[in-house]
Chain A
Amino acid sequence: MPQLCTLPDDDFLDRLQRGAFDYFVDTMNPANGLIPDTSRDNSPVSIAVVGFALSAYPAAVERGWMERAEAVRRSLLALHFFRDSDQSGSPTATGYKGFYYHFLDIHSGTRVWQSELSMIDSAMLIAGMLTAAAYFTADTPAETELRELAELLYRRVDWRWSQDGQGTIRQGWKPECGYLHYGWEGYSEALLLYALALGSPTHPISADCYPAWTATYQWENLYDQDFLYAGPLFIHHFSQAWIDLRGIRDPFMQQKQSDYFENGRRAVFVQRRYTQLNPHEFVGYDRNCWGLSACDGPNGDQVGPRNPQLRVFGYAARGVPYGPDDGTLSPPSVLASVPFAPELALAALRNMLLRYPQLLSADRLTTSFNATLSDSDGQPWVSPGHYGLDQGIIFMMIENHRSGWIWQLLRGCSWLRDGLRHAGFAGGWLDQATLDQAAGATSR
């Protein structure tokens, strides 16, 4: 561990990015291309993790970590599976209306845990398909089929249906009870979902849907940072794994003279200030040990006599400054912040790894740890195994930090560009893309 932590930044990140990528290589079901949610025994598939895998293969080809043909083969496995999957919406199907259930059996690919048809997780899966389609552009039968499948699967998503006639997109649906009515207000990771839904050539959401969502935003000055509030760090990451939000602005950000990328940077400052203040006096928190986000955490039966008063929350979306906060931190959320604030994120991660070497195994970060909940040897509670979502966001945000390659690739996706424009985004590369398009049309 000390050796890893002393590596220069790019080597350090290279190891961690490769470690993250190998999660997909090591855990994929060779029969259907699906990837498990976690490395734990009997883990189901998370469709969002499959989206991350599909997004990671192209960059891995570029980095020489996977043969192009192998990447195409793995991608096609997954795309074939989703094309042929049961879309009846029955309780044991795989999806409905082009969306998919959040968790699937890794062998049969059918719904497990009575999980919901998840709009946001489906969007991340679709984003992965479009990433693959944007990269595998060779005129070969396999790559042509890959592109056709990705387009087919995107076009069949009925985004309009996901509105349920309401002003904004619903969070989920279940065959047993219909749409879920959880409040899904405020800034969230749904920006990607809205962009894909607005860009759809077949079933776009209504034009007023995006402003209806942004009307629930809160622009706050907290710890001297002006920022679009979202408590958990992952919210600031997920859409920006795919979309280059540097320098492009929707009407809300135009009014605030900021952008979502800058907002992510400020969210890092807010996290650091919170852990420095450490209102609940948790062990380990300081300006170089932060990362409150959605992650696994200890359960009540793991709270021993050493911490009888500690209230813990298991898997939860932890956030600042309003909580929930039980002393559990997510190292992957720190690493995923590297494009926003490289020096701060790397300093914190190195500090955390030096202090708690057990956070890393096989060059992969655990999803979370809790130093307040330590054992009799003073060792922190560490979540066992690895989470696919963590490895996915780590891989992509490191790549974007190192090369901007995934952002660049997705700038070329016309549907995503259309979606952003329909949402009112303008400026920066998006305007340039518009000019390029116009020039192309003129020259033709």
Chain B
Amino acid sequence: MRSRIQSKLQSAELWQAFIIAVPYIWLLIFFLIPFFIVLKISFAEYILASPPFSKLFRLADTGAMYMTLIFDNFVYLWEDDLYLNTYLNSLQISITSTILCLLVGYPIAYGIARATPTAKKILLLMVILPFWTSFLLRVYAWIGLLADQGTINNFLIWIGIIDEPIKMLYTDFAVYVGIVYTYLPFMILPLFASIEKLDMTLHEAAADLGSRPFTTFRTITIPLTMPGIIAGSLLVFIPATGEFVIPDLLGGGNVLMIGKVLYSEFNSNQDWPIASAVAVVLLILLVVPMMIYQKYQAKESSGE
């Protein structure tokens, strides 16, 4: 009897180990190890060969293995103004767009959270639906709106506000619009979740005690919905910093962002060590926001 229980316990343990191990090993191989390869190549040297980088580990004649770390790539990134400016510009663009996204998303999330249950369901579906449709095509849609001969300019000229088209496509403005537009659902959903939890009696109490609506909003609503604000902002800020498609299609050659530089270093210039170094620095910039987000995600999904 005892051995039966034991064997049963053992099989349960084996089973648990299987459930954990399969996805764990997959993620180790295809998610974690690749970063170490990127790190490794960022310390290599660009050479004309295939693959185009020097080897880090070499066997000496004595049989000992030695390693050469070349910091040139990072020094180059630091010294070349182009890269420094591109990093700063990416951060500036993604921070500005995150704030804009928050300003647009908060009222929408608030409106949905305060709607009737049926309306709430429909409105939420309407927020999620664009997220399911192609990202690339949603960015493409804005080319037609923002172009010199685009819908917005044609409309403004037609109603007589302007005489000649305003330049919107291939400017920072176009990139802001693109990021806010495509990332808006990511902002609205966490905001909605925390606004919905809000206890409305607090507002009534504040109003009864003579607080004006704006003061109530500033001192009660905002602090209590802070988890949603932080989660939504991180969900926009982190991917937007490394964004490639939006600055490429809407920013053209005029807007420098690091995702675009990385892409062209790798694909056009074939300089893998520099591309890897660019990725490593980008990852270092984003690691703190990512850890904050991870903490939030862990708390949220464990149902606390």
Bound together: no
